[in-house]
Amino acid sequence: MTARLSHLPNGLRVATREMPHATTVSIGIWVNAGARDETAKEQGIAHMLEHMAFKGTKRRDAQAIATEVENVGGFMNAHTSREETAYYLRLLPEHIDLGIDILTDILTQSTLPDVEIERERGVIIQEIGQSLDTPDDLVFDLFARACYDNHNLGRPILGTVDSVSNFQRADLSGFMNRFYGAGQMLVVASGAVRHDDIVSRIDASLGSLSDAKTAKRLLPVWSAGRQIATRDLEQSHIVFGLPTKAATAPDRFALMALSTLYGGGMSSRLFQQVREQRGLCYSIFSFASLYSDSGVFSVYAGTSASQANEMLTVAADELASIAQSVHPDEVTRAKAQLRASLLMSRESVSNCGDALARQIMLFGAPQDDAMLLAAIEDVDENAVRDMAAQLISGNRPALACVGPPTQLIDNDDLGARLTA
């Protein structure tokens, strides 16, 4: 599978991953602007704009956009993250012109009709309400706030009811005009495609697109905060975490291996020690949220209020233990999981497109799979142990909880367990 990247004269980047075995195409446009690029008054506007893109252009209303795609058996969707917004379609190769035309239309000719703004405002307010009523959604928003306080990375992607209620058409078009320009956008196609053909078609449709501002992002400061929301629930939903490397860090593969052996599967230390040995929870896992300039290494668990502190203590002790000693078999198993995950993801045209877009957004160029596999293979026990030691050294953890009233361990005391 060959990945290629071209630059159009206007600064727009076009990337493809040709997959000879594929019979479908995934094509999308990624914008290097997300929730962290909003002003304080714009909380949630990147997400609302993502919703509005499909709600009408100068040539198509919302129903026509959906009907034209589905008439040829296609699928369209979009997502907003903290650092990017993506709009994409999956369809058969013979309909690639339609896909490019619709993507071009919604991102350059959106009319943002007032009636659709009001309708979508109601939809998003319902979405926010659903998130607030879903404890294992809410706890992650609270955790982001505990990590970064008032920094943009600490704000919910959906925004708040107050912020969304106040957005007007001029606000949405203003955000689009600031960031939706050629230099901030990336077109990615994967599957049954040919690179030169896609570049030619994109040049014809978006080659005259003007440039826009480059997002200027403030470096986040670790807050090591604490966010507790009392709810009448059967379980306490808890997340704690520590600051870590950015997504581009050379030793990120050691971090991935650490997360995998610590809390990445049924053979992981967390699953075995917290669930299997002690029966303290049903679900527990570790994960790393990595951004262009920072990151967070975290643990989520759902447990009873009476056992929450024991769960946190055992989880902290296990991470501290890894900083002292790792068995070679654990690292070998973690690397096997990482290799398999990477290779399995390459069987999906959509996953390939997502991965390629993220690589170019972060590194400016595609990352060769052979290089990634070699980097995984180079991870050893020392690298994993050192990574765990770096995480716990001098860092106060952040903590969030949604659940019944309970006296959770103090952040400093939890930090002391990590370094004991």
Residues labelled catalytic: 50
Task: Kindly state the tokens that stand for 28.
Answer: 């999308």
d(CA 352, CA 358): 10
Could you give the 3-state DSSP secondary structure of residue 157?
Answer: coil
Q: How far is CA 348 from CA 90, 132, 178, 275, 338, in A?
A: 11, 33, 33, 33, 17
Q: Which residues contact 166 (CB under 8 A, 6 or more apart)?
A: 41
Task: Kindly state the tokens that stand for 29.
Answer: 């446009």
d(CA 351, CA 28): 12
Q: How far is CA 242 from CA 289, 393, 398, 403, in A?
A: 11, 10, 7, 22
C-alpha 249, offset from chain centre: 17
Reference 348, options 193, 190, 187, 188; nearest CA is 190
Q: How far is CA 282 from CA 137, 177, 235, 415, in A?
A: 17, 47, 10, 24
Neighbour tally for 371: CB within 10 Å: 9
Q: What residue has token string 């990375």?
A: 153
d(CA 408, CA 300): 15
